Amino acid sequence: MAEQTQATEPHIKFTREKMTRSIGFLDKSSSEFGHKSFLMKIPAATLGAITTVLIGASGKLPQDYSNYLSITSLVTSATVSVLAAWEAFFGYGDLRLTRANAAKSIRRVRDELDYAVASPEGLSRQKLDELFERFQKMVRDALVSEGGEPANGAS
């Protein structure tokens, strides 16, 4: 049976630091995408409700006011459509979930790393390489959804 090479402390430290930085980057960007999603959805919902009120009120008022409310409701409903299209195009909600899930998965891999380091057998170089490859794939998969390469803080 071939003896396995143990991972060195600098390699372990490097891998753990990369994971920790990536988790921070993914958590931050997930939060930012969540904020952007919120900023798209709340105005759209508000304008949708206002449009309904304007349409309902336009039939109850004199003709001069009715025309004004009808035109205003057309503008608000068009704005709702633009906001919905913008959210669908950029996919802020999906990006938030993708980044949050990637950060959670990387935390699990980092926990595996810590557990293996603390075990009596220690951490083999082969196991460290396997964990690092899984980590890199998670980062790539999280960033592919927006078509980009890992940003400076991601990997």
Torsion of CA 131, 135, 141, 147, to 10 degrees: -140
User: Domain range for residue 18?
Assistant: 9-144
Condensed to tens digits (0 to 9), the pLDDT of residues 81-94 reads: 999 999 989 999 99
Q: Is residue 114 part of a domain?
A: yes
Which sign, positive or negative, has the C-alpha torsion 133, 139, 145, 147? negative
Q: Is residue 151 part of a domain?
A: no
Q: Is residue 38 part of a domain?
A: yes
Condensed to tens digits (0 to 9), the pLDDT of residues 42-79 reads: 999 999 999 999 888 888 888 888 888 889 999 999 99
Q: Is residue 22 part of a domain?
A: yes
The pTM of this model reads 0.76
Check residues 104 and 152 and name the one with the higher pLDDT. 104
pLDDT score for 67: 86
Tally of domains in the chain: 1
Q: Is residue 154 part of a domain?
A: no
